[in-house]
Amino acid sequence: MGIKTVRDMDVKGKRVFVRVDFNVPLNDNKVITDDTRIRAALPTIRYLIDQGAKVLLASHLGRPKGQVNEKYTLAPVARKLSEILGTPVLFASDCIGEEAKRVAVGLQDGDVALLENLRFHPEEEKNEPGFVKELASLADIYVNDAFGTAHRAHASTAGIAGLLPSAAGFLMEKEVEYLGKALSNPVEPFVAIIGGAKVSDKIGVIENLLDKVNTLIIGGGMANTFLKAQGLEMGKSLVEEDKVALAAEALRKAAAKGVKVLLPTDLTVAEAVSAEAPHKVVGKDQVPPGWSAVDIGPDSARVFAEEVKKANTIIWNGPMGVFEMAPYAKGTEAVAKAVAESDGTSIVGGGDSVAAVKKMGVAEKVSHISTGGGASLEFLEGRELPGVAALGKKGQMRKPIIAGNWKMYKTAGEAAAMVKELAGLTAGITEVETVVCPPFTALSTVLEAVQGSNIAVGAQNMHWEVQGAFTGEVSPVMLKDLGCKYVIIGHSERREYFGETDENVNKKVKAAFKYGLMPIVCVGEKLAQREQGITEQVVRNQVEKGIAGLDNDQAASLVVAYEPVWAIGTGKTASNEDARQVIGFIRNVISKIYGREIAAKIRIQYGGSVKPDNIAGLMQQEDIDGALVGGASLEAKSFAGIVKYS
């Protein structure tokens, strides 16, 4: 969708206002009974903490109708979040005013605070400009990670994004990517399953999907209206009489577009909509007078399941029957099982649909469970969501990263002087992430010298252990304690001179992530290997072994540097096309390990005699997201020329 994400923002030392969806259920004792929504925001919160941001969270809870109501205070949420994070979470008793400012100004790097319920103020839902300005005054950057409220043009979802640099959090990114890809570029066959009570709630979704799906499955109460449109008598079943003509028109449109529509062929009917009422299975044309359809029948469940299992893209929103009552949950459960067993990409949204996959213990087998009920429906209708539209856009999905590896050059004083000059030459450049990796002895002085600039600092190596009798080594904890953001792992010189193996690289990569560092993983072939024609074999082995065993969030955060050994320090550079081909190959290898969506997020650099006069050509190549620079990064003007390649 082209929206900026939190990865595209320099957040270190910045106050970041994060709109989250902490609208969680509480019992009468104000105890949270389901913390799913809190946990869904953790990847974004933890990322910001690790990046040294000052995190200011904001949410609504319940419907306080613009008035302070202790029933809807977020104080219990702050306590629960503190418990989950294992770190104190400050709580401000208001979301604007002196109390909010006091808490915001007092935040230190890595601190987290939660503001009181936004909807205690009527100005929130009205998107009142003065209220928007007060919220924006608390922070430097805005991040929206609340997809469930993205369809509302409120102060904290749309207004504030117009006043601050803005981006999506990881949850928002995931929602938009999954739903967006399903609508714009689905892998066929594409099957949509639409259920629930009323046609009126989802007719917009159905009409939008008719141009995209191969098969449309309709169940639940809304199926009754479609069956009535086919001339069937539905007894006392829920039927929207004023929508029968609309349902008939939708069926005609589907036939004209060649979309297969599956409606129930049999139904579970009951004398009353009650779990204790007499019930039985009948054909769709045999609903007894006075009885109501309460679920699809077993034959329908079987046919629906068979169609779902053949799909490569699945969207499911809405139950197949009165799911809340156990006797009438079988149809919904059959569909849930089929969705989970499918090899395709599956997206589930809507409370009952989500409840079904969770109840059956198959939620982890679903590709994506949407956190937004109304938001996901409006997205599927093809409507623009204010909370998404307001976010910053980016010209490319991956932010370029230019990193300078200074190797065994520069004293601490020389390093500090150079990086100060570099900071002046690259001031204001935010579209490229600039990184310097000085020797260990200069890390502290360089970190101090880059304060207030857009330059990040990385180390050139580390051990995978936290501590121990490893003379001459440094640990990830030591680097993180200094303030390093990145660490180079598996550089060809480490492999050549110090016997670094792919297995060691993998240990270091995992340790880096565990302790909050971002690894730059180096891979590349020697000249003899290139001449033997085994470049791809060598690079594949290094990638597969070096980055094995990561979770998806870790993998997506990787930086990989392709550095042909024969081009390092030799003055020789792979042609632009050679570099593009190998880097494209690396991305393909990663996609086979972690999937195409993860591979598309990973930044891959080229390294090997990169200079100001060849960087532009390299950066124009598809899949090349930056450079790992050696000798040309040792002089400020030269490195600045590379950073300012565009």
Work out the angle at residue 350's Cα, subtended by the Cα atoms of residues 24 and 214, and round it to the nearest 5 degrees.
Answer: 155
CA distances from 573 to 210, 343, 632 (A): 51, 43, 13
Contact indicator for 213, 262 with CB cutoff of 8 Å: no
Instruction: Select which of 123, 378, 525, 563 is catalytic.
Output: 563
Please tell me which residue in 433, 491, 493, 500 is annotated as part of the active site.
Answer: 491
Considering only CA atoms, give the Rg of the chain. Answer: 28
Rounded CA separation 306/281 (Å) = 20
**Contacts of 125 by beta carbon, 8 Å cutoff, 6+ apart:** 66, 119, 152, 154, 155
d(CA 627, CA 610): 7
Determine whether 378 is an active site residue.
Answer: no
Beta-carbon neighbour count of residue 226 at 10 Å? 24
For 262-298, letters b (16+ CB in 10 Å) and e give: bbbbbbbbbbebeeebebebbebeebeeebbbbbbbe
Quick check: 347 and 314 in contact, CB under 8 A? Answer: yes
Helix (H, G, I), strand (E, B) or coil at 261: strand
Q: What distance separates the 2 farthest-apart alpha carbons in the chain?
A: 91
As given in the structure block, the two tokens for residue 262 are 């599956």
CB 638 within 8 A of CB 410: no
Q: For residue 563, indicate whether it is catalytic.
A: yes
- Active centre residues (catalytic): 491, 563
